[in-house]
Amino acid sequence: MFIPFLKCTDMKISVIGAGAVGATCADNIARRRLSRELVLLDIKEGFAEGKALDMTQTAALHGFDTKIIGCTNDYAKTAGSDVVIITSGMPRKPGMTREELIGTNARIVEGVVKNVLEQSPDAIFVVIANPMDTMTYLALKSTGLPKNRVIGMGGALDSARFKCQLSQRLNCSPSDLNAVVIGGHGDTTMIPLIRHATWNSVPVTQFLTKEEQDEIVAATMVGGATLTKLIGTSAWYAPGAAGAAIAAAIIGDEKRLIPSCTYLEGEYGQSDICIGVPVVIGKNGIEKIIDFKLNETEQAAFNKSADAVRSMNNVLNLANA
Ligand SMILES: NC(=O)c1ccc[n+]([C@@H]2O[C@H](COP(=O)([O-])OP(=O)(O)OC[C@H]3O[C@@H](n4cnc5c(N)ncnc54)[C@H](O)[C@@H]3O)[C@@H](O)[C@H]2O)c1
């Protein structure tokens, strides 16, 4: 029942928004012993305090010594954070697109990043709130932070869902798969790159008919919507775990190649946009963008995806912010 106690790192992580995704992300961070101190902040009175207390009571069961602090809108508690994960924002309801959340979540995210920066001027941000590509762009433009310090979480989750679909169809371990999703984090904007997906170096296309490939790609793209329909709100286990995986890559300077939303300046033929591409994540946040060659069809899909993300950004009128 009890697992051996292992020391956590000496870092500090704050998670803003203690709802479904934020709390799950924090739970993963504690279990993985990624930080010495973990702060959960929410605007709902007592909510983050309660979740932090509940999580603290799992310490003896999971064997971690992270100090978990919950607070109601008290940014002083987040001071000196190395990584800040932003999950504060409305989730979508069945039938809603991520894009429909834009007005409310933009106001929340803009206020949150400003408050966080006053307390943690050197923090690296992981943006999860939707519509995530636009919220990442907003966090970057409204703060003037260097682009390596603002990471949008979408590709990590979408790629995990892509691997899940592939592993079920191939009857193989998802850990043996290499498969990435690029583009915007939306039902119609994400691009699961099936041509590049491999089962331990063997192209998966070798084992799948064209029809099967199309089905896997389509199921990946509506992965979030399928869950929203089943649960009645958006998912949290995989999104929370994906947020923690990005935090782990930063905290451990892991140099992991994780498709994530980042600011492009000419890569993939796009500029002045935050959108999902493969990036290397380490102690400085996004350390490198991997600009690999897309074929004509993939590039056309990427350009179309960028157009959709850009029109969403235009709603906020941030281009010259
Ligand atoms: N990027 C992704 O892959 C991904 C995946 C899943 C969910 N999401 C998004 O993450 C967000 C959170 O989803 P959820 O399911 O956890 O929602 P939730 O409603 O369970 O939690 C959101 C929390 O944010 C809090 N909050 C609102 N305004 C705040 C503020 N100004 N300061 C601090 N806290 C505030 C709320 O009180 C609530 O507890 C949503 O926007 C959702 O669409 C993104």
Residues 55-73 pLDDT 10s: 999 999 999 999 999 999 9
Confidence at residue 320, expressed as pLDDT on a 0 to 100 scale: 46
Q: Is 187 exposed, middle or buried (0-12, 13-18, 19+ CB in 10 A)?
A: middle
Distance 267 CA to ligand 1 centre (A): 30
Q: Please determine, for residue 180, whether its predicted confidence score (pLDDT) is greater than 90.
A: yes
Query: At a CB cut-off of 8 Å and minimum separation 6, what does 126 contact?
Result: 83, 84, 85, 86, 151, 152, 153, 243, 246, 247, 250
Residue 209: CB partners within 8 Å, gap ≥ 6?
none
Q: How confident is the model at residue 292 (pLDDT cuts 50, 70, 90)?
A: confident
List pLDDT tens digits, range 214-228: 999 999 999 999 999
Predicted pLDDT of residue 316 = 84
Instruction: Provide the 3-class DSSP secondary structure of residue 122.
Output: coil
CA 275 from centre of chain: 12
On average, the pLDDT of the chain sits at 95
Q: CA 61, 127, 45: angle at the middle one, nearest 5?
A: 60
- Identify the sign of the CA torsion 20, 281, 100, 118: positive
Asked whether 19 lines ligand 1 (CB < 6 A), one says: yes
- The finding on whether 259 has its CB within 6 A of some atom of ligand 1 is no
Q: Is the whole-model pTM more than 0.85?
A: yes
Whether residue 2 is predicted with pLDDT greater than 60 in this model: the reply is no
Distance 116 CA to ligand 1 centre (A): 16
Q: What are phi and psi of 143, to 5 degrees?
A: -110, -25
State if residue 22 touches ligand 1 by the CB under 6 angstroms criterion.
yes
Give the integer Cα–Cα distance in Å for 206 and 293: 21
Q: What is the mean pLDDT of residues 254-260?
A: 98
Q: Which tokens go with 277?
A: 């591409």
Q: pLDDT band for position 96 (50/70/90)?
A: confident
Q: What residues act catalytically? A: 185
- Centroid of ligand 1 to alpha carbon of 108 (angstroms): 10
5 or 59, which is more confident: 59
Nearest CA to ligand 1 atom 39: 19
pLDDT band of 40, cuts 50, 70, 90: very high
CA of 295 to the centre of ligand 1 (A): 36
Q: Tell me the β-bridge partners of 274.
A: 263
Q: What is the DSSP string of 39-92?
A: EEEESSTTHHHHHHHHHHTTHHHHT---EEEEEES-GGGGTT-SEEEE--SPPP
Q: Kindly tell me the burial class for residue 64, based on how many C-beta atoms sit within 10 Å of its own C-beta (0-12, 13-18, 19 or more).
A: buried
DSSP 233: S
220 pocket-lining for ligand 1 (C-beta < 6 Å): no
